[in-house]
């Protein structure tokens, strides 16, 4: 056992008596804010596509983009455990192995590898297409065979009886965690728990197919991890829209930073300064920000 985040997460998953929440982030700034609330972060493909491309999550993300984005998070938040969404491994099994090896070397704790066929889409939308099971299993097993400390989460977007067929096959591997996305009820989670002894992750997305549930409820139903995949992205959308509407409804006047909940340059810069202590010399912000 080493201090690699993957090894540490694997131990926590199996030893933990409570449930581990992962917060979905969409860039380094949102990760900085989320890091104050949880030691576990999830680099969401949905969030990345929205923030970097301004497009829906239907397969625009290049593997090199996600590797570089994850590296930026690791640089500023090295003590946090990062779960990275790698979609289908970017089509080819060899690419999936190459990407997972790079992420492991930089200290990513876990990757999420799904069984969707392209064109892919958010797991809570209709019209998803699945890879043939054996094709997905070949890719998953190749990734598992070449990792050493990285945790691997196998995600299936199956529905109905196909969920259980795929879970039984996935459970035969040494995958660390399993996730069934787009689960419509807690009862489905309970049924899944009955057929596999693998740790389970439950994904919640605002307005999605899955019910809103507390951590206690999810733990009682058999989940070991809870994923909040897009709260930062949706909060940013609402806050930016509200803030700009307020500015221009007041003839372009900026808000008073002395008001409760209002952020100004000093507060933002102070938060960012903390990230610099991980890998850069300290900078005296007083030279740049007038009190």
Q: What are phi and psi of 114, to 5 degrees?
A: -100, 165
Residue 210 lies in a domain: yes
Residue 21 lies in a domain: yes
Tell me, yes or no, whether 165 and 269 share the same domain. no
Tell me, yes or no, whether 213 and 267 share the same domain. no
- CA–CA separation, 234 vs 289, rounded Å? 30
Residue 244 lies in a domain: no
What CATH number is given to the structural domain containing 199? Answer: 3.20.20.60
pLDDT per residue over 150-202, tens digit each? 999 999 999 889 999 999 999 999 999 999 988 888 999 999 999 999 999 99
Residue 83 lies in a domain: yes
Domain extent, residue 56, equals 5-236
pTM, two decimals, is 0.90
8 Å CB contact between 219 and 200: no
Calculate mean pLDDT across residues 226-240. Answer: 95
pLDDT per residue over 75-133, tens digit each? 999 999 999 999 999 989 999 999 999 999 999 999 999 998 887 766 566 767 899 99
Tell me, yes or no, whether 55 and 185 share the same domain. yes
Tell me, yes or no, whether 136 and 265 share the same domain. no
Tell me, yes or no, whether 18 and 129 share the same domain. yes
Cis amide prior to 119 (ω within 30 degrees) = yes
Q: Would you state the pLDDT for residue 85?
A: 96
CB atoms within 10 A of CB 128: 20
Q: Would you state the pLDDT for residue 147?
A: 97
Give the torsion through C-alpha atoms of 248, 252, 253, 259, to 10 deg.
30
8 Å CB contact between 114 and 150: no
Q: Would you state the pLDDT for residue 277?
A: 77
- CA–CA separation, 99 vs 242, rounded Å? 38
Tell me, yes or no, whether 218 and 263 share the same domain. no
Residue 250 lies in a domain: no
Enumerate residues 6+ apart whose C-beta is below 8 A from 175: 140, 144, 152, 153, 154, 198
Residue 249 lies in a domain: no
Calculate mean pLDDT across residues 240-257. Answer: 89
Residue 241 lies in a domain: no
Q: What are phi and psi of 269, to 5 degrees?
A: -65, -35
* Number of domains forming the structure of the chain: 2
Residue 211 lies in a domain: yes
Q: Would you state the pLDDT for residue 127?
A: 66
The answer to whether residue 279 scores a pLDDT higher than 70 is: no
Tell me, yes or no, whether 18 and 152 share the same domain. yes
Give the SS3 label for residue 249.
helix
Give the torsion through C-alpha atoms of 109, 35, 13, 178, to 10 deg.
-70
Tell me, yes or no, whether 191 and 276 share the same domain. no
Tell me, yes or no, whether 271 and 155 share the same domain. no
Tokens of 288: 């740049």
Q: Would you state the pLDDT for residue 122?
A: 65
At 70, the pLDDT band (50, 70, 90 cuts) reads very high
Tell me, yes or no, whether 230 and 274 share the same domain. no
At 262, the pLDDT band (50, 70, 90 cuts) reads confident
Give the SS3 label for residue 155.
strand
* Helix, strand and coil in the chain, % to nearest 5: 45, 15, 40
């Amino acid at each position: 056992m080493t201090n690699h985040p993957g090894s540490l997460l694997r131990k926590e998953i199996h030893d933990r008596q409570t449930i581990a929440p992962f917060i979905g982030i969409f860039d380094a700034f949102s990760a900085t804010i989320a890091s104050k609330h949880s030691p576990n972060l999830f680099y969401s493909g949905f969030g990345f596509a929205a923030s970097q491309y301004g497009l829906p999550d239907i397969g625009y993300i290049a593997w090199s983009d996600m590797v570089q984005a994850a590296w930026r998070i690791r640089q500023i938040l090295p003590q946090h455990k990062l779960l990275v969404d790698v979609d289908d491994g970017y089509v080819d099994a060899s690419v999936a192995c190459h990407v997972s090896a790079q992420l492991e070397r930089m200290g990513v704790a876990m990757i999420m590898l799904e069984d969707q066929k392209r064109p892919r889409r958010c797991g809570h939308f209709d019209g998803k297409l699945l890879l043939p099971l054996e094709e997905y299993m070949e890719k998953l097993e190749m990734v598992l065979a070449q990792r050493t400390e990285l945790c691997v989460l196998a995600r299936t977007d199956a529905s109905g009886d196909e969920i259980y067929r795929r879970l039984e096959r996935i459970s035969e591997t040494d995958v660390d965690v399993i996730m069934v996305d787009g689960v419509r009820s807690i009862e489905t989670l309970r049924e899944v728990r009955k057929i596999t002894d693998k740790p389970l992750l439950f994904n919640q997305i605002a307005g999605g197919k899955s019910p809103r549930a507390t951590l206690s409820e999810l733990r009682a139903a058999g989940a070991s991890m809870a994923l909040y995949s897009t709260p930062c992205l949706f909060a940013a959308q609402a806050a930016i829209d509200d803030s700009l509407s307020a500015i221009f409804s007041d003839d372009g006047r900026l808000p008073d930073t002395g008001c409760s909940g209002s952020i100004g340059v000093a507060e933002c810069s102070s938060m960012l300064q903390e990230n610099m202590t991980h890998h850069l010399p300290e900078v005296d912000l007083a030279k740049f920000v007038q009190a």
